[in-house]
Structure 1
């Protein structure tokens, strides 16, 4: 099925967490698909560099520094638009890998604030703009952690379960309105920062996550999946797409070469 060309009203795509990894790759993919991309993240220098790269390539990109956990800032951001075609809720991340018995409640709180409340903020603020476009799409980038548990991941798992339920419930609540709700749930993705951030900058621990895995997913793999889902014809809703590397059968079963 051919990719749909965005209409004039639905041409703007907002991507959160666009300063690197999946967010930056998704911005590139949507720009190539014909969207005017709005890049949001806390790291101003990163998104400005990406906007410059995309504009130099003949696309249209704007950088807007934004903390998705700051509701007042999100509401102010939303006033910049009459309509929005696509919202990619990608901002998130994991902190720590401790068991429930010793996990840091502050890490849990920060993960929930970013992965769930941040998604809620942007979705609430932009939903009227998405509906006004007549052809809107909300994308929630969750995780396979949002669908099954694993030891040492309870805080992140709980947050991503929250993101999954948000997407599933929103789809029920707005059925009949011109807005699709898509959930993309990646498995093992190797990016420059995800595992490193999770383990507080410990490079050895971060490297061990991918040890022996020949080909984990890349940010570009996930971005390609997101772009594909967004560019389906308007009547086609990809409710949930789980994407893993071939070497990963589940969150706890991964083939590692010796």
Structure 2
């Protein structure tokens, strides 16, 4: 039996595009009130309009850089001033940068940005919101992981490392919050066609397009469906972990491209 999001508040980080935007819209469709944050605040306008069209209410939308403690605290303060509570935190903000091997030529700035966004950003948001999630009596932390947190691949050592960390943090939180009214979930997709590869390749759209050439990748909405499913289970049901891939992807190395051998 699905539970409505009516009367509940959900925060989605990295909500200006792609998976984050789809998650915010999906949660609005099942009744959640939304607080959406992203570095590119101007790009939150489209998702805000869509949420207002669906729900009749404008979401709380504000700039949020999860790598900046001041930005995180300002955003959370704004959400609490606006709604007075938080029930669901979706830690979606994250990125991959480059495909550097771990050698002398690697870009350490890319490494640092991935670590600070994917790991420390998630921790900054979670640390500050756990007390309010407990106070809500019906809290839920949903971390957007990756199949890269289950299987490393050459060139992805640091990105995979951040997603292995997300998986470990999720597991630790599940134990730390046992007995408290907070569920903890990880939704771990494989290849999803969004801006992900464009960001990874520093804006090289041609190179990014080749990643998905000839196959049917997941869409942002596919991941959002899984988040909404987890968020709308009866409160005693915790979706610990959900892995999803396109039918054309077996693992990080084996994909089917228009009938070519995998």
**TM-score band w.r.t. shorter chain:** over 0.9
- TM-score for both structures, normalised by structure 2: 0.93
**For 1:187 and 1:202, how far apart are their aligned partners in 2?**
21
Determine which of 71, 87, 90 is the counterpart of 1:88. 90
- The aligned residue for residue 221 of structure 1 is 222
Matched, 1:23 2:23: no
Is contact 2:134–2:182 with CA below 8 Å preserved after alignment? yes
Matched, 1:39 2:36: yes
Is contact 1:184–1:242 with CA below 8 Å preserved after alignment? yes
Q: SS of 1:57's equivalent?
A: helix
- The aligned residue for residue 68 of structure 1 is 66
Deviation (angstroms), 1:6: 3.1
**For 1:239 and 1:41, how far apart are their aligned partners in 2?**
26
Deviation (angstroms), 1:7: 5.8
Give deviations 1:23-69, integer Å, cap 9, x for gaps.
00000000001000111001111112321222133343121111111
Matched, 1:163 2:166: yes
**For 1:96 and 1:227, how far apart are their aligned partners in 2?**
31
- The aligned residue for residue 185 of structure 1 is 188
How many residues are treated as equivalent by the alignment?
253
Q: Which stretches in structure 1 are left out of the alignment for 5+ residues?
A: none
**For 2:225 and 2:5, how far apart are their aligned partners in 1?**
17
Is contact 1:12–1:85 with CA below 8 Å preserved after alignment? yes
Matched, 1:198 2:195: no
**For 1:167 and 1:103, how far apart are their aligned partners in 2?**
29
**Relative to structure 2, which stretch is displaced further, 244-253 or 72-81?**
72-81
Deviation (angstroms), 1:207: 1.2
Is contact 2:5–2:27 with CA below 8 Å preserved after alignment? no
Deviation (angstroms), 1:79: 2.6
- TM-score for both structures, normalised by structure 1: 0.95
Q: What do you get for the CA RMSD once the two structures are aligned? A: 1.2
- The aligned residue for residue 178 of structure 2 is 175
**Relative to structure 2, which stretch is displaced further, 133-142 or 60-69?**
60-69
**For 1:204 and 1:164, how far apart are their aligned partners in 2?**
31
Determine which of 133, 148, 151 is the counterpart of 2:151. 148
Q: SS of 1:120's equivalent?
A: helix
Is contact 2:29–2:55 with CA below 8 Å preserved after alignment? no
**For 1:223 and 1:68, how far apart are their aligned partners in 2?**
21
**For 1:6 and 1:49, how far apart are their aligned partners in 2?**
22
Deviation (angstroms), 1:78: 2.2
Is contact 1:14–1:39 with CA below 8 Å preserved after alignment? yes
Is contact 2:4–2:232 with CA below 8 Å preserved after alignment? yes
**For 2:99 and 2:159, how far apart are their aligned partners in 1?**
9
Q: SS of 1:148's equivalent?
A: coil
- The aligned residue for residue 99 of structure 1 is 101
Is contact 2:142–2:187 with CA below 8 Å preserved after alignment? yes
Matched, 1:129 2:114: no
Is contact 1:30–1:227 with CA below 8 Å preserved after alignment? yes
